[in-house]
Amino acid sequence: MLKEKLIHFLANFEKENIEQSFPLDYCVPVYHCVSDEKLPHIENVINYKKIKQFEQDLDYISKYFQFVNWSEFKDYVEGNFKPKKKIALLTFDDGFREFYDVIVPILERKGIYAINFINPAFIDNQDLMFRCKASLIINEIEKNNNVNPEVYKILHSKEDIKRQVLDINYLQKNTLDKLAQILEIDFNSFLKEQKPYLTTEQLHILTQKGFGISSHSWDHPRYDLLSLEHQLETTFKTFEYLKENNFLYESFAFPFTDFGVNKVFFDKLFENKDLFCTFGSAGVKLDSIERNFQRIPMETGENAELIIKKEIAYFRLKKLIHKNKIVRK
C-alpha cells in the first residue's frame, strides 16, 4: 500500500530522541495481550507480542516518556502535575487472563502502572467475544480438510476463508454460533477449560495492587454500527458494573474504534459527571472532543520505536493538509 510505504520511508528520517519530535505532550499505548504461548482464541485477530518484545517496548518508551498512574494522568490533564518528561499512560483492552498472569508481574518489577479496559459480559468466562469465536472457527476450518459443506452455504465460498469469517461483524455474530454448531466447536467448553478472561476475584486483586480496571462497553460492539440509544445503553450499563465493584468508573475506551461516532454521543456521555475522559485508538491525533484521547495501537508486528516514529511521521504528513485532528459532527 502506497500510504504505508510512504509513512515507513518518512519514519526513517525521524530523530533518535523522539521526546523532542513527538508532537503531543502525552503518549497512550494500547495492547491487548502478551504471551509466549499460542492462543487460539486471539491468534487470528490480534498480533500480540511475546514477553521479550513487550519488555523491549516498555524500555524504549521509558527512555523518552514518564509513565504515570491514573491520578497523575488526571492531574496532568487539569494542569496540576508537572512531569519531568512527556507522559505515557499504559493501557490494555479486553480483560484477557494474561494481564494477571504475565503482564502485571512485569509491570510490578518495572514500577509501571496500567489500566485494563474490560467488557463485563466476558468476565468470569461467562461468554466469548465474537472476534475470539471467529479466531477459533478459522483455526478449525484451516486444519480440517473435510469441512462440513454446510459451512460454505453460510460463507458462500471456499476461497479466503479467514477474510470471510473476520468480516462477520457484531450485528451478525449469531452467524458465528451457527458456524460453530456445524463445526462442532463448543465455546462453553473452551471457556471452562482455557479460562481466557480475568475473573472477578482477579479484578479485585488487581485493584488492590493499584492497577486500573475500567470500561470498554458491555460486550465489545463496534460503535459506528449501533444506534445512539444502543451506544449509550452498552456504555452506561458498564459504568454501573464498575461502580458496583469499586473499579475505575471515570474513563471509557472505545472497543475497536471511535471512527464514525458523532458529537451527540459524547455530549450525552459527558452528562455523566463521574466521567473524566474517553479513549480512542486512532494513533497520534488530536480530537475535537477535548477529553477524548487517541491511543497508539502497539500490536502491528513492529517494535515500539518503529511504531512511534511512524506515528510521528504520519502526524506531520496529515498536518500539512490539516487532517491531523478528528472533527466530530
Average pLDDT over residues 221-241: 98
Residue 219's SS3 state is: coil
Tell me what the pLDDT averaged over the chain comes to.
95
Q: Each residue of 73-126: pLDDT tens digit? A: 999 999 999 999 999 999 999 999 999 999 999 999 999 999 999 999 999 999
Of all residues in the chain, the percent with pLDDT exceeding 90 is: 87
pLDDT at 322: 84
What pLDDT, on a 0 to 100 scale, did the predictor assign at position 236? 97
Q: What is the pTM of this model?
A: 0.96
Find out whether 287 and 262 touch, Cβ atoms under 8 Å.
Answer: no
Give the pLDDT mean for 194-207.
98
Which pLDDT score is estimated for 1?
Answer: 76
Side chain identity, residue 82: K
Return d(Cα 317, Cα 240) in angstroms, integer: 41
Q: Identify the CA nearest to 292 among candidates 302, 303, 304, 281.
A: 281
What's the whole-number mean pLDDT along residues 145-162? Answer: 87
C-alpha cell at 145: 480438510
Q: Which CATH number fits domain 2-127+197-326: 3.40.50.300, 3.20.20.370, 3.40.50.720, 3.30.70.1280?
A: 3.20.20.370
Compute how many other C-beta atoms are within 10 angstroms of the C-beta atom of residue 122: 23
- pLDDT surpasses 90 at 145: no
Query: What does residue 122 show for φ and ψ, rounded to 5 degrees?
Result: -105, -10
Q: Which residues touch 301 (CB under 8 Å, ≥6 apart)? A: 47
Q: Provide mean pLDDT across the span 281-296.
A: 97
How high is the pLDDT of residue 11? 82
Instruction: For residue 87, list its beta bridge partners.
Output: 26, 66
Q: pLDDT, tens digit, for every residue of 27-47?
A: 999 999 999 999 999 999 999
Q: What is the CA radius of gyration of the chain?
A: 20
Give the residue ranges of DSSP H helices in 78-196: 98, 104-110, 130-143, 150-155, 161-166, 174-183, 187-194
Mean pLDDT of 151-168: 90
In the β-sheet with 29-31, what is the strand arrangement from edge to edge? 292-294, 277-280, 251-253, 212-215, 114-118, 90-93, 29-31, 296-297
Q: pLDDT confidence of 12, banded at 50, 70, 90?
A: confident
pLDDT of residue 16: 80
Q: How far is CA 250 from CA 97, 176, 247, 275, 280, in A?
A: 23, 33, 9, 4, 15
What proportion of the chain, given as a percentage, has pLDDT over 70? 100
pLDDT score of 2 more than 80: no
| Domain-wise residue ranges, the chain | 2-127+197-326, 130-191
Cell numbers for 105, please give them. Answer: 508481574
Residue 208's pLDDT is what?
Answer: 98
- The SS3 assignment for 136 reads helix
Higher pLDDT, 7 or 122: 122
Instruction: Return the pLDDT at 3.
Output: 79
- Residue 176 is predicted with a pLDDT of 98
Binning pLDDT at 50, 70 and 90, where does residue 221 land? very high
Lowest mean pLDDT among 7-11, 203-207, 238-242, 321-325: 7-11
Strands 86-88 and 90-93, bridge-based pairing: unpaired
